[in-house]
């Protein structure tokens, strides 16, 4: 790792801590309402969902229309285990970690099961299959006893707070970003670019596709688990096809293949519908129009495949001032 | 036995509606390789047109049906021109997202205009139920099946024997070569959307008559199922869509009748997964090898 990368990691890390400190104080001092603090938690969860979907759709290049299915698996698993653990007197944090990770593991497992056959298919067929998968998960939950069926799953301890969800989010996003930059990540991107060429240089496309898909499902399941502890109540309709589409919209608008793009899109598109709530009747129409216009005007998304970083931003600002300095020096000489 | 035959009749009714809607999906996919997610909503627009005409105009059923099909066809063409035409050269995923956005948009426009509560569809068909050997066949079933089959035959004749139909097949075969042969591809695409939307409207009108109500979100489930039907039969292949529609109708009716009504949608989607695993190109599809 070069010095420059180390410094940029450090800068990004510090910047994330600063953001955390600011939001934390805002919430603790009650400068912002409960409504806003719960919206911020929802934003963090959506960031996890969007980045995890971006991993399979943007990096691996497989259009997935059933990401809410993985979220649902994670959420219901985490909720079931979480109720048992907090009933047994576990403190909040270990209870969350254990149940959320079990949710993630089960989601990853179902990702492997659906992934092995599904990834043999290409393009639209994979999308259709994941769509069917998402619907099946919803219908199964609707029909099971312990999930409460259509009436919903009640009595989940509401253990979530900003600190937990923020660090979970950072861990998930950092994991995905580092993975995407690693050797394995490059192999995954090469499959997106050209699967046949990737296989020709010795990359096992099936193995990478299934692993990538399962990891994406796992992080999605983790997001679902956090969601369960935030809402305290789950219903199968929360994880319908529309939810999968919502997440996909974030990924596409942020730019497929740009993790930071997904982060920003998740922030904007969780907040925007809320901000437009005053125009309740028209907000969904506006939202849809925005989506269509965006696709026509800028189909690669806000960021394309570029990443945004605090260190890059600083370097840009820093370089600019430097340039101005040298220019003013030159001006002084002549 | 009687119960079984009754279910078969129900299958024909539901299946023909799915088949008609599935044709719209398959035609659009065959021509521009786009899963038109807005098709379910286009179908609902058809139902609403019929609902408005039936409530306020008092025209006979056939006139109502034809006018709403024409209006929906125009809507389909407008949608294609506004939202899909600018994306002809864009990556397929952006077109897909646009289709999803369009579906959102249409749904919410309907919510704005008609509000979310279901409206009762006026009774358009007043005929006595037929009784054949102890079986009671409801006139709606006869008309649904009859109209669907009639329009499917008309469509087949149109595609096989007329010039625009031939052009349509040529475009779906190979767009570039079709252009070289002097076919106006854009016009053919618009025509495809018009026909697909008109058939969607037919499906929507029949659906809303069969279930006697209309509401903005009613297109989601039949839309998804018709889409499953199109994939089942091999997307892009018209007879495949018809076969798929009737198969989905069959599976749905019989699981509802003999197993459980809550699981029937799950079984329909599992069937899709199984078909995709065994024969990814669908029942009537031909396997295409990837070329380097």
Which of A244-258, A274-288, B178-192, B224-238 has maximum average pLDDT? B178-192
* End-to-end CA gap in chain B: 55
B52 touches chain A (CB under 8 A): no
- What are the two backbone dihedrals, phi and then psi, of residue B30, each rounded to the nearest 5 degrees? -60, -30
pLDDT digits (tens, 9 = 90+) for A125-163: 777 788 889 989 998 998 888 878 788 888 888 888 888
Chain A contact probe: residue of B276, B278, B289, B291 with most A CBs at under 10 A: B276
ipTM value: 0.81
Distance of alpha carbon A251 from alpha carbon A301, whole angstroms: 8
Distance of alpha carbon B235 from alpha carbon B228, whole angstroms: 9
Query: For residue B292, what pLDDT is reported?
Result: 46
> Torsion-angle region of residue A326: left (phi > 0), alpha (psi -120 to 50) or beta?
alpha
- Flag whether pLDDT at A333 surpasses 50: no
Q: Is A117's CB within 8 Å of B277's CB? A: yes
Long-range contacts, B262-268 (Cβ 8 Å, 24+): B262/A139, B262/A142, B262/A143, B263/A139, B263/A143, B265/A135, B265/A139, B265/B221, B265/B225, B266/A135, B266/A136, B266/A139, B266/A140, B266/A143, B268/B225, B268/B228
B277 touches chain A (CB under 8 A): yes
Q: Which two tokens stand for residue A268?
A: 């904007």
Please, are residues A313 and A299 in contact by the beta-carbon 8 Å criterion? no
pLDDT top residue among A70 and B286? A70
Distance of alpha carbon B52 from alpha carbon B62, whole angstroms: 14
Long-range contacts, B130-133 (Cβ 8 Å, 24+): none
Q: In sequence order, which residues have a C-beta less than 8 Å from that of residue B266 and are 6 or more positions away?
A: A135, A136, A139, A140, A143
Query: For residue A149, what pLDDT is reported?
Result: 79
Distance in Å, alpha carbon of B62 to nearest chain A alpha carbon: 33
Query: For residue B289, what pLDDT is reported?
Result: 53
Element (H, E) at B132: strand B130-132
- Flag whether pLDDT at A173 surpasses 50: yes
CA-wise closest residue to B28 among B80, B98, B68, B72:
B80
Domain ranges of chain A: 3-324
Q: Is A292's CB within 8 Å of B266's CB? A: no
Query: For residue B287, what pLDDT is reported?
Result: 62
Q: In sequence order, which residues have a C-beta less than 8 Å from that of residue B16 and are 6 or more positions away?
A: B144, B145, B148, B149, B206, B245, B246, B249
Q: Is B292's CB within 8 Å of A288's CB? A: no
Q: Is A122's CB within 8 Å of B220's CB? A: no
Q: Which residues of A touch B107 (CB under 8 A)?
A: 284
Q: Is A249's CB within 8 Å of B96's CB? A: no
Q: Which residues of A touch B272 (CB under 8 A)?
A: 128-129, 132
Query: For residue B6, what pLDDT is reported?
Result: 84
Please, are residues A172 and A52 in contact by the beta-carbon 8 Å criterion? yes
Distance in Å, alpha carbon of B101 to nearest chain A alpha carbon: 5
Distance of alpha carbon A223 from alpha carbon A68, whole angstroms: 10
pTM recorded for the entire structure: 0.83
CA distances to A55, A212, A227 from A259, rounded to whole Å, are 8, 15, 20
Query: For residue A331, what pLDDT is reported?
Result: 45
pLDDT top residue among B53 and A325? B53
Domain A3-324 fold is ABC transporter involved in vitamin B12 uptake, BtuC (1.10.3470)
Cβ neighbour number for residue B18 with a 10 Å cutoff? 30
B266 touches chain A (CB under 8 A): yes
CA-wise closest residue to A109 among A238, A235, A221:
A221
CA-wise closest residue to B22 among B228, B210, B191:
B228
Q: Is B273's CB within 8 Å of A129's CB? A: yes
Distance of alpha carbon B123 from alpha carbon B51, whole angstroms: 10
Domain ranges of chain B: 15-217
pLDDT top residue among B72 and A33? B72
* End-to-end CA gap in chain A: 43
For every one of its 292 residues, what pLDDT tens digit does chain B have, with 9 covering 90 and above? 778 888 888 888 889 999 999 998 888 888 888 888 899 999 999 999 999 998 888 788 889 999 999 999 999 999 999 888 888 887 777 788 888 889 989 998 998 888 888 888 887 777 677 777 777 778 888 888 888 889 889 998 998 899 999 998 898 888 889 989 889 989 999 999 999 999 999 999 999 988 888 998 888 888 888 988 988 888 888 888 889 999 999 999 988 888 877 788 888 888 888 888 888 777 887 766 554 4
Rounded to the nearest 10 degrees, the angle between the axes of helix B2-32 and helix B220-233 is 80
CA distances to B18, B222, B235 from B281, rounded to whole Å, are 19, 22, 8
Please, are residues B232 and B283 in contact by the beta-carbon 8 Å criterion? yes
- Flag whether pLDDT at A4 surpasses 80: no
């Amino acid at each position: 790792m070069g010095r420059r990368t180390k410094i940029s990691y450090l800068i990004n890390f510090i910047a994330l801590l600063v953001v955390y400190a600011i939001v934390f104080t805002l919430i603790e001092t009650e400068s912002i309402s409960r409504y806003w603090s719960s919206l911020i938690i929802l934003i963090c969860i959506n960031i996890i969902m969007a980045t995890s979907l971006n991993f399979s759709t943007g990096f691996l290049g497989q259009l997935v229309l059933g990401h809410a299915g993985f979220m649902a698996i994670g959420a219901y698993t985490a909720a079931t285990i979480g109720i048992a653990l907090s009933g047994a007197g576990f403190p909040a944090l270990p209870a969350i970690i254990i149940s959320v990770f079990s949710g993630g593991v089960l989601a990853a497992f179902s990702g492997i099961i659906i992934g092995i056959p599904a990834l043999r298919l290409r393009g639209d067929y994979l999308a259709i299959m994941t769509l069917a998968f998402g619907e099946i998960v919803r219908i199964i939950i609707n029909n099971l006893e312990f999930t409460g069926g259509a009436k919903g799953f009640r009595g989940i301890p509401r253990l979530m707070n900003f600190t937990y969800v923020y660090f979970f989010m950072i861990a998930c996003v950092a994991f995905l970003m580092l993975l995407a930059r690693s050797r394995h990540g490059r192999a995954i991107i090469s499959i997106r670019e050209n699967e046949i060429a990737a296989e020709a240089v010795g990359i096992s496309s099936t193995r990478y596709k299934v692993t990538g898909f399962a990891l994406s499902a796992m992080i999605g399941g983790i997001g679902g688990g956090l969601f369960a502890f935030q809402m305290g109540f789950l219903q199968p309709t929360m994880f319908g096809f529309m939810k999968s589409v919502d997440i996909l919209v974030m990924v596409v608008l942020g730019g497929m293949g740009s993790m930071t793009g997904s982060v920003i899109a998740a922030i904007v598109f969780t907040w925007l519908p809320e901000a437009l709530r005053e125009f309740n009747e028209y907000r969904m129409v506006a939202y849809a129009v925005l989506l269509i216009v965006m696709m026509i005007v800028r189909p690669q998304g806000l960021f394309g495949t570029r990443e945004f970083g605090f260190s890059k931003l600083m370097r840009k600002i820093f370089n600019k001032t430097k340039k101005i300095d040298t220019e003013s020096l030159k001006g002084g000489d002549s | 036995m009687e119960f079984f035959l009754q279910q078969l009749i129900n299958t024909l009714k539901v299946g023909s509606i799915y088949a008609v809607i599935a044709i719209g999906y398959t035609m659009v996919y065959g021509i521009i390789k786009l899963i038109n997610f807005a098709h379910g909503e286009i179908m609902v627009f058809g139902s609403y047109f019929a609902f408005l005409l039936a409530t306020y105009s008092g025209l006979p059923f056939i006139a109502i049906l034809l006018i709403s099909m024409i209006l929906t066809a125009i809507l389909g063409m407008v949608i294609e021109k506004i939202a899909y035409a600018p994306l002809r050269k864009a990556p397929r995923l952006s077109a897909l997202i646009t289709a999803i956005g369009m579906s959102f948009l249409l749904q919410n426009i309907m919510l704005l205009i008609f509000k979310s509560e279901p409206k009762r569809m006026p009774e358009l068909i007043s005929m006595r139920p037929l009784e054949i050997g102890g079986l009671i066949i409801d006139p709606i079933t006869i008309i649904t099946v009859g109209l669907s089959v009639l329009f499917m035959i008309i469509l087949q004749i149109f595609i096989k024997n007329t010039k625009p139909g031939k052009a349509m097949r040529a475009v779906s075969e190979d767009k570039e070569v079709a252009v070289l042969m002097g076919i106006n591809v854009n016009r053919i695409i618009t025509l495809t959307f018009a026909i697909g939307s008109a058939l969607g409207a037919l499906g929507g009108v029949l659906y809303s008559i069969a279930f006697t109500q209309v509401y903005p979100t009613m297109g989601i489930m039949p839309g998804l199922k018709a889409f499953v039907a199109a994939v089942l039969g091999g997307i892009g292949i018209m007879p495949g869509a018809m076969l798929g529609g009737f198969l989905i109708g069959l599976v749905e009716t019989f699981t509802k009748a003999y197993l459980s009504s809550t699981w029937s949608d799950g079984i329909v989607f599992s069937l899709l997964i199984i078909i995709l695993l065994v024969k990814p190109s669908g029942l009537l599809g031909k396997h295409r090898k990837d070329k380097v």
